[in-house]
Amino acid sequence: MYDFIIRQVKILDGSKESAFVADLGVKGDEIAAIGDLKDEKAKQVFNGQGLALAPGFIDIHTHSDTALLADYRGQSHIQQGVTTEVLGQCGGSIVPRNEKMAEQAKAMQMRMAPHSEPFMGLTTEEYLAELDQRGVSLNAVFITGQGNARQMVMDYTDGPANPEQLEEMKAIIRRSMEEGSFGFSTGLIYTPSVYAEIDEIVELARVVAEYDGLYFTHIRGENDTVIQAVEEALEIGRRAKIAVQISHLKAMGRHMWGSSKEILKLIEQAREEGVDVTFDQYPYLAAACGLDAILPPWASVGGKAEMVKRLQDPELKAKMLENILAEEGTGEWISIYKGVGWDNIMITGFAPDHSLEGKMIAEIAEEKGQDPWDTCSELIIANQGNRVSIVYFAMGEEDLERIMVHPLQMVGSDTGAVSGLPAPGKPHPRAFGSFASILGKFVREKKLFSLEEAIYKMSTAAANRLGLKDRGMLKVGYKADLVLFNPDTVEGPADYIDPRQYAKGIEGVWVNGVLSVWRGEHTGAKAGRVLKPSR
């Protein structure tokens, strides 16, 4: 007796082999049989005719660390078939941290879930135990933020770590690895990660490599310096002998469109030399971050309060603008503003005045009758240095598609999971549509690659990268993380102005054999698990 059988469904098993029609039976949390099960009995039977069944999608790049504490369902992700989240990206995980960092993070938790008990733990072990205790709908894979270790030891101090500080950071990373982390991440355009030089990162990476962990990196630049930034990531892989995952690979700014050819060639050459490097991507032309990422790194030394003070100093504010507009940048840093401009930077989250959300900075400046740089500065100051969320339209379609079809590409939304209910803020549509859009727009409509190849990229490739030996494929004995969808109607309707729209064409999602989403409705299931690395 099976717990359930999905009958006569198109099986996309994740192997890239041609799809085939069969029945799939599940017992407990495992796939028990694939084939002709017409004579077999089950407690529940689902009709899969005209539908496709794939292994649950693995979002290899998320920022759901706090989001899953605020809402265990992970709605925008699970509603498009994601069953596993990889947390802790871009150098900023929820833990490890000190008490000061925990207190600073408390405010964000309370904004996201005002009636819940805030998590105040400090260690990786405590956080993973909290997820287990609260229960979540998706499986969770944890990655340690390098920025956390640096902030714990050096706060927002610029410059290289001394030997004692470096040993402290290594100890923090080592403990996190022993408590269940799969690797570590850097966010080398964000403070305080940006202050770390390559030698410091290599030393931390060597600790992670001892545990066969992975190095995830938001590289040091994605516009003018993208080639040098990719080279730095590859050099870290070589020196530390660690597998490298380049996050949300792209070429930003109109002046850089077309450079994906050189980027991909560089990655291919490194692989031929023995560097284990892959990358992920979201299928949209706009990036997202906080407005303060426009500012030069020196502006944030000492933290948010100091940044706000500098913006209120006319001389320092003028120097910041000079750095932002500099054609050659400042040292290795070039502002994300270059090749984008104020007319392509949209405010998507501004707590003091939600009416500004959905407007470009140039548009807001025109309404106020002021210079866009003054508007930018005022927004950051008015929010006391806290995150002013933006999307900025920076990528070209040809680069996007060239990267997408590359065999080393995987899919990551680069978002925290959010609700589709009406709320302030306009989250990037990639939170709701990264996986569904690939299936709808790029597979069905544009025919860039096959459905079989898409499922491999969204499931199997990521499972293999993470070393998940029982997930990412439809195979007997594997965990029953499943997504049932209609290949003729699946799509991600979310857009930049109206992003809070769940994916369409997703019929059902099972996590560890438990039905968690059925035809757009979450069942309330908390079947997700905290996954641990197999070492």
- CA distances to 11, 39, 73, 369, 485 from 50, rounded to whole Å, are 11, 21, 28, 57, 9
CB atoms within 10 A of CB 400: 20
Alpha-helix runs per DSSP H in 241-303:
260-272
Q: Which two tokens stand for residue 222?
A: 């994605």
Q: Would you state the pLDDT for residue 330?
A: 58
Per-residue pLDDT of 208-229, as tens digits, reads 999 999 999 999 999 999 999 9
Q: Which two tokens stand for residue 440?
A: 């709808």
Using the predicted structure, report yes or no on whether residue 328 has a pLDDT greater than 80: no
Alpha-helix runs per DSSP H in 369-523:
372-382, 397-404, 430-437, 451-455, 461-466
Helix, strand or coil, per DSSP, at residue 343: helix
CA distance 432 to 451: 20
Q: Would you state the pLDDT for residue 329?
A: 60
CA distance 200 to 332: 16
Cβ–Cβ < 8 Å for 23, 37: yes
Alpha-helix runs per DSSP H in 369-407:
372-382, 397-404
State the pLDDT confidence band at 33, using cuts at 50, 70 and 90. very high
The helix (H) or strand (E) run that includes residue 310 is helix 304-311
Cβ–Cβ < 8 Å for 131, 68: yes
Burial call 64-102: b when 16+ CB within 10 Å, e when fewer? bbbbbbbbbbbbbbbbbbbbbbbbbbbbbbbbbbeeebb
Q: What percent of the chain has pLDDT over 90?
A: 95
CA distance 6 to 338: 51
Cβ–Cβ < 8 Å for 391, 496: yes
State the pLDDT confidence band at 428, using cuts at 50, 70 and 90. very high
CA distance 218 to 234: 13
Mean pLDDT of the chain: 96
Going along the chain from its start, the domains and CATH numbers come out as 55-289+394-437 (3.20.20.140), 293-391 (no CATH)
Using the predicted structure, report yes or no on whether residue 195 has a pLDDT greater than 90: yes
The helix (H) or strand (E) run that includes residue 174 is helix 163-178
Per-residue pLDDT of 329-372, as tens digits, reads 655 788 999 999 999 999 999 999 999 999 999 999 999 999 99
Per-residue pLDDT of 86-114, as tens digits, reads 999 999 999 999 999 999 999 888 888 88
Q: Would you state the pLDDT for residue 400?
A: 98
Q: What percent of the chain has pLDDT over 70?
A: 99
Cβ–Cβ < 8 Å for 364, 312: no
Per-residue pLDDT of 391-420, as tens digits, reads 999 999 999 999 999 999 999 999 999 999
Cβ–Cβ < 8 Å for 288, 276: no
Among residues 58, 147, 70, the alpha carbon closest in space to that of 417 is found at 70
Output DSSP code: residue 330: B
Global pTM value: 0.95
State the pLDDT confidence band at 116, using cuts at 50, 70 and 90. confident
Distance of CA 416 to the CA centre of its chain: 7
Using the predicted structure, report yes or no on whether residue 327 has a pLDDT greater than 90: no
